[in-house]
Structure 1
């Protein structure tokens, strides 16, 4: 995307040099993990670049749509995109085929319109719970009772916080999702527009009720923390805070190790300064961004400062 040169990318290498070009190019790009590797993680890598390209970008991403140890694809549209819009950016997504462990085979298209700049945002007021919703699914040859049990387990552990929980129980279309998988994806939306997410995937030896319960306990933890971002969203916003124009502030619960690592890398590479301030049981992450302007923006290039 940026015409980079890469050196040292060989087996046994102890050092890699990545030298980006001066322009992020519009176009159609394909990335294929050839495994069940997470499509959501491919998105995390590509989006900041695509948003600062010199024209529209289409990403064809192949791998796992619902993978363990990574955000589910629905998380990216329901939770991540919600906060990305606050930075003045968004994306469109089409899921052509779902991919699960171990076969993968998922295929997602992400369409990105570049921005002139990312704007700083303050996400400080959580508000009260307005709704909790989500999906409990089975795919392939797995029976519907697994999806029902995951939904029941989730509601069992969350109902005292919000009794009206809307979990859609479904069997994935065999043409969209031919391989076996089960899981639950849930979202808590608040009166201030914040969204917190939690999910769980079925696996051999795990009772479906327990998968649902675990997702509920994870969501419950983030709700009770009082933060505006869940534990999986904290680290994902760090790069956007660093690039934005102005001072961003985010109220979160406990700072995760992923977030600490993202802050460390951003400060090391971009020469920005993050501040983490304790505020009772929560933490406030703040940063004065770099004010990165897209001087190659297709519609407003002549109006922008000569910096990238």
Structure 2
């Protein structure tokens, strides 16, 4: 079969193209060639984070990679068969563990049996979902697709060393169920986690919790807000880190998140207020998912058996990119339609391909 050629500089032009393309190559049994990898970035080509992700997919499905080295601008991948078993992937940096989960989960679902995996790197990294977001927002919504996986945090790891670790167990499924998230309902509660690790004082987390709570209570005076303050021990975390994750829940089970990571020179109040204001903006858009979840669901909508519908706020460039890659490699058809009477609100619809896990008994 001739390789499908994918432009790695298209639209978002980042690691997402690599992750989705290699995962879908595995699932659809199509060889791919990705050119112009991250061509528009300040450091173009493969970075260690991306390399560890595509190598993980290659290991999962016994695929063959070419061009798999740091700095490479072109990668070719030929998929094989995804087998049950035990796997490990390590970014060897503070690169995101959550992006390892993101690239591998669709593949693990279509294995011939249960998969146990250990992912190592950064649990709370910039430009990626925090592990708390993956477990508090993504995982519950994934269950609506019929997706069941467990991810236990063994140890948290922070920039610059990483050193975090999670243990993942994923059970295979026959087919992904279609998802319909079209009713945002009304806000019923907000919960969260403000944390510090290492030598950082607990008062930083306390300040973040109080700041975010104050902003959210002012905007939603009748809604309960509970943001835990956590000081992680040396046994629980490697390195110094601080941040906050806030999750809003609605009456229809929708989950929307806002988050922030602390860094040198940025006040705790600023980190918390940015996270709170981000969450408020997501709620006000009137969608069923936030900006960071919408693009993560596209691949599962494409694979599902039947029509999926997703009510969103503004469509992000990451989501546009995800739709493009999904359509190119699966032939699923997406439509994005503005919602009448709701400013900056859109309905994403997809007729999925109904991919079947032929390795499982009927």
- Shorter-chain TM-score bucket reads over 0.9
Determine the C-alpha separation between the residues in 2 that align with 1:189 and 1:150. Answer: 20
Runs of 4+ in 1 over 6 A off after TM superposition: none
CA contact (8 A) 2:162 2:238 kept: no
What is the match of residue 132 of structure 2? 74
Comparing 64-73 and 176-185, the one that deviates more: 176-185
Rate the CA distance shift 1:98–1:241 in 2: closer, same or farther, 3 A: same
Give 1:13 shift. 5.0
Determine the C-alpha separation between the residues in 2 that align with 1:13 and 1:103. Answer: 24
Aligned pair partner of 1:136 in 161, 177, 194: 194
Give 1:12 shift. 6.6
CA contact (8 A) 1:247 1:286 kept: yes
The equivalences for 1:159-170 within 5 A come to 159-163=217-221, 164-170=224-230
What is the match of residue 272 of structure 2? 212
What is the match of residue 194 of structure 1? 254
Give 1:11 shift. 6.3
What is the match of residue 296 of structure 1? 359
Aligned pair partner of 1:123 in 160, 181, 191: 181
The alignment partner of 2:280 has SS state of helix
Give 1:170 shift. 1.5
Give 1:186 shift. 0.9
Determine the C-alpha separation between the residues in 2 that align with 1:51 and 1:20. Answer: 15
Higher helix share: 2
What is the match of residue 306 of structure 1? none
Determine the C-alpha separation between the residues in 1 that align with 2:71 and 2:226. Answer: 51
CA contact (8 A) 1:227 1:253 kept: yes
What is the match of residue 16 of structure 1? 75
Give 1:17 shift. 1.7
In the alignment, is residue 92 of structure 1 matched against residue 156 of structure 2?
no
What is the match of residue 52 of structure 1? 110
Comparing 5-14 and 157-166, the one that deviates more: 5-14
What is the match of residue 290 of structure 2? 230
Determine the C-alpha separation between the residues in 2 that align with 1:236 and 1:252. Answer: 13
CA RMSD of aligned residues (A): 1.2
The alignment partner of 2:244 has SS state of strand
TM score, norm. by length of structure 2: 0.80
Rate the CA distance shift 1:97–1:13 in 2: closer, same or farther, 3 A: closer
Rate the CA distance shift 1:261–1:142 in 2: closer, same or farther, 3 A: same
For structure 2, list consecutive stretches of 5 or more residues without a partner in the other structure.
Answer: 1-59
Determine the C-alpha separation between the residues in 1 that align with 2:69 and 2:120. Answer: 23
CA contact (8 A) 1:153 1:211 kept: no
